[in-house]
Structure 1
């Protein structure tokens, strides 16, 4: 997730609310960074299982730089111990009768469909504000985010809850943001990072222990499940769009939307996942905000898969993308690049 709070903008260009928000989050972020310790110093104090996990993460980080041509920055070489199971909370909103996210605009990152808070009370207040405006909402904890290459990303203690495959995948995901980030294009940025994170982890573990090793099989299964989930959300988007364009009352549309999400939840429960990574989707109560959150991370995964095949691998594809000028409509641009009918949707 690209939520690093980078305090480089001119205060005079910001509204009072935005400036106040950035200053509050920035103070906490600076405080966290001041508590960071070199990972090599912390490593001996951790349980053996976590030491092994972090050692593999370090190998995966360096492998991604060498083999996926990630930006060579000193990320994940420091450690920050934070209380609890998350670093911050993220609030998201979406129109209740349209697949349209609520957007916040910030310096550097542009318009994004999420807003992060280190303070739970502030996050809850923002969620309540959106609900009063009639939006579907979601508030969720996060255990990692990217500073987009402006500063080295630290390893936060909640990330140690991930299994080894999940940790390496998350690190490669965040390194993708540091390598390529197009301001104002959150869906493109996040889904690209999701694709490269999962596929990159699968390649890494296959290179480490062979394709038949336990971790390589798990990483490959997760990568295939990512594509399965992406297709499921494409189907759900089509169903929801059809409901929202029906010539019926708003109340009827909302009732049908709720029924549609219940059916989708049942489909996720019955989906033939190869790994346990996505099992939570069958337990998640869904609304337009939760859908748009998932859509942000899974939109266009099949297109990225095709793009990587066209360019001969993740490294060459990433190099090619970095060399491009950020398009105003990345999905239409990508459809054209792949020789498909041009659309502003993935």
Structure 2
């Protein structure tokens, strides 16, 4: 078994190194970035072992064993009830000995909610740049900040390789999220598997909003199934957690819209005088003060729950713009699901069709769907990155 795993790892490394050699043609800085991406991913793959190995290992803590068993029930539900891919992903587990698998860097101008983008093979152009080292991520953020951009760095518990690495064991379960509450664990697995169903290159908002819609639609069915099998605690616990999330999302969305109105993105920057820019800065600062004040009120109503404190602490244009990618088109996807009669396979086919259209057309179609009567109550559904 050891020899087989060694050969497999060598094959993975060879394939990834070859990818770096191709990608590195862009320049030395690109070589460095892609190498940290490849080596970090390879380390994660090497640390992963089949869930069954962990379950039979007498050294595995009882709590971890229980969470791994739950993850496999969730994984089976994803296949049987939601028709998500049945493959190697989330059949292995790795303890990375850190709190996040990667740290994302996002950046935006001082008076804009338009994210800076980076372009990569396969993924296309996206509004974030991921690092396996938090120090490297913060160094990049400092570099971008020195150019005048607002930046945000946030830890990510999981990411998807879009099914491209299933031949090498797929995306593993990780210590960064395995101890999430039951409903949150299910939600994350549904979200990441959704990325393997449909992916539109270079359209982060479409991809993340689709995955968010799948997680939202899927979690309600999973909770109902858990309750039917006697696990009523999962449903009640999730209800408390999700209520707070929805209230915070509504606040963040309102602030994002307020900022967008202040910036008036469609105005040509060349036409803006220094005096007008200064007025926008003042209005922006007042909007951010209102955001923090309203958050303090929410926190008080939650009995002091401080789970969103880190996000609020780093809240700026970059953070709000990154959040938009995860929720802007969710109402349209939910409306599309309803229009397809709640049939998952028909829904996925419809989303694949949208992904084949030009970006502006697919967004227009989803925004049109979100205005339909049966979806009028979904305006407060942003999702934190």
Q: In structure 2, which of residues 56, 63, 72 is the aligned counterpart of residue 58 of structure 1?
A: 72
Q: Tell me the SS of whatever aligns to 1:100.
A: coil
The TM-score, its normalising length taken from structure 2, stands at: 0.77
Listed as ranges, the matches of 1:1-346 within 5 Å are: 8=19, 11=22, 14-16=25-27, 17-43=29-55, 44=57, 45-151=59-165, 152-210=170-228, 213-219=232-238, 229-245=248-264, 248-271=275-298, 280-281=307-308, 284-285=312-313, 286-313=315-342, 315=344, 316-324=346-354, 325-329=356-360, 330-337=362-369
Coordinate RMSD, CA, aligned: 3.1
Alignment deviations for residues 123-178 of structure 1 (CA, whole Å, 9 cap, x no partner): 12210111011111101111211111111111111212412211111111100111
- Distance of aligned partners of 1:331 and 1:312 in 2 relative to their CA distance in 1, 3 Å threshold: same
- Distance of aligned partners of 1:69 and 1:10 in 2 relative to their CA distance in 1, 3 Å threshold: farther
Match of 2:4 in 1: none
Distance 2:243 2:358 in 1: 29
Q: Tell me the SS of whatever aligns to 2:307.
A: helix
- Distance of aligned partners of 1:85 and 1:339 in 2 relative to their CA distance in 1, 3 Å threshold: closer
Q: Shift in Å at residue 313 of structure 1?
A: 1.9
Distance 1:241 1:123 in 2: 27
Q: Shift in Å at residue 295 of structure 1?
A: 1.6
Distance 1:14 1:202 in 2: 46
- Maintained 8 Å contact 1:68/1:314: no
Q: Tell me the SS of whatever aligns to 1:105.
A: strand
- Maintained 8 Å contact 2:20/2:35: no
Q: Tell me the SS of whatever aligns to 1:205.
A: helix
Distance 2:300 2:351 in 1: 31
Q: Tell me the SS of whatever aligns to 1:137.
A: strand
**How many correspondences in the alignment?**
336
The TM-score, its normalising length taken from structure 1, stands at: 0.85
Q: Shift in Å at residue 13 of structure 1?
A: 8.4
- Maintained 8 Å contact 1:225/1:274: no
Q: Shift in Å at residue 195 of structure 1?
A: 2.4
Q: Tell me the SS of whatever aligns to 1:240.
A: helix
Q: Shift in Å at residue 297 of structure 1?
A: 1.7
- Maintained 8 Å contact 1:267/1:282: no
Q: Shift in Å at residue 192 of structure 1?
A: 1.9
Structure 1 gaps of 5+ residues are: 341-345
Distance 2:30 2:242 in 1: 37
Say which is worse superposed, 331-340 or 293-302, in terms of deviation.
331-340
- Maintained 8 Å contact 1:222/1:275: no
- Distance of aligned partners of 1:275 and 1:22 in 2 relative to their CA distance in 1, 3 Å threshold: farther
Q: Shift in Å at residue 116 of structure 1?
A: 0.8
